[in-house]
Amino acid sequence: MPTTPRRQGRRPDDGSGRFFGLTALSTLLPGAGLLPTRRRPLGLLLLLGFLLVGALGLFYAWRKGFVLTALNVAVRPGMLVTLLVVTVVGALLWCAGILLTARETAPEGPGRLLRAGFAALCCLLVVAPAATAVRYMTIQHDVINVLTGGADEKEANAWAGKPRVNVLLLGSDAADDRVGVRTDSMMVASIDTRTGDTVLFGLPRNLERVPIPASNPLSAAYPNGYDCGDECLLNGVWTLATNAATEDPALFAGDPSPGLTTTRDVIGAILGLEIDRSLVVNLRGFQALVDAMGGVEVNVKERVCMDCKLRNGRIVFVSREERWIEIGRQRLDGKRALWYARSRAGSDDFSRMRRQRCVTAAILNQANPTELLRNYPDLAAVVKDNVSLDIPQSELPRWAELVGTLQETGSIRSLPITNKVVRVANPDFDKIRDLVQAAIDPQPTPTVTASPTPSTSASEPSDSPSPSTSPSEPTDQVEDIAATC
CA 288/CA 429 separation, integer angstroms: 36
Is 259 inside any structural domain?
Answer: yes
Q: What CATH number has the domain bearing residue 425?
A: 3.40.630.190
The verdict on 171 and 138 lying in the same domain is no
pTM of the model: 0.74
CA 280/CA 418 separation, integer angstroms: 22
Is 457 inside any structural domain?
Answer: no
Tell me which residue range forms the domain holding 220: 164-437
The verdict on 232 and 340 lying in the same domain is yes
Residue pair 170/185 in contact by the 8 Å Cβ criterion: yes
The verdict on 182 and 130 lying in the same domain is no
The verdict on 207 and 75 lying in the same domain is no
Is 484 inside any structural domain?
Answer: no
Is 472 inside any structural domain?
Answer: no
Q: Long-range contacts for 241-250 (Cβ within 8 Å, ≥24 apart)?
A: 242/180, 242/181, 244/217, 244/218
Is 466 inside any structural domain?
Answer: no
Q: What is the pLDDT along the chain (485 residues), one digit of tens a residue?
A: 455 555 454 555 556 889 999 999 999 999 999 999 999 999 999 999 999 999 998 998 888 778 778 878 888 888 899 999 999 999 999 999 999 999 999 888 778 899 999 999 999 999 999 999 999 999 888 888 887 766 665 655 667 778 899 999 998 876 555 555 678 789 999 999 888 889 989 898 889 999 999 999 999 999 999 988 788 899 899 999 999 999 999 999 989 999 999 999 999 999 999 999 999 988 888 888 888 888 899 999 889 988 888 888 788 888 777 889 999 999 999 999 999 988 888 788 888 888 888 888 888 777 766 677 777 787 787 788 788 888 888 888 888 888 778 777 778 888 888 888 888 889 999 999 999 999 998 766 555 444 444 444 433 333 333 343 344 455 566 666 666 67
pLDDT confidence of residue 318: 81
The verdict on 288 and 371 lying in the same domain is yes
The verdict on 129 and 194 lying in the same domain is no
Of 129, 132, 142, whose CA–CA distance to 81 is shortest?
A: 142
Is 415 inside any structural domain?
Answer: yes
The verdict on 201 and 120 lying in the same domain is no
Task: Out of 395, 413, 437, pick the residue that ends a domain.
Answer: 437
Task: Out of 148, 182, 197, pick the residue that ends a domain.
Answer: 148
Q: How many domains does the chain have?
A: 2
The verdict on 168 and 141 lying in the same domain is no
Is 481 inside any structural domain?
Answer: no
The verdict on 421 and 333 lying in the same domain is yes
Residue pair 23/121 in contact by the 8 Å Cβ criterion: no
The verdict on 138 and 183 lying in the same domain is no
Residue pair 351/194 in contact by the 8 Å Cβ criterion: no
The verdict on 132 and 242 lying in the same domain is no
The verdict on 224 and 310 lying in the same domain is yes
Q: Beta strands 277-282 and 164-172: pairing type?
A: parallel
Is 185 inside any structural domain?
Answer: yes
Task: Out of 119, 148, 177, pick the residue that ends a domain.
Answer: 148
Sign of the four-CA dihedral 142, 144, 150, 156: negative
Residue pair 141/128 in contact by the 8 Å Cβ criterion: no
pLDDT confidence of residue 432: 94
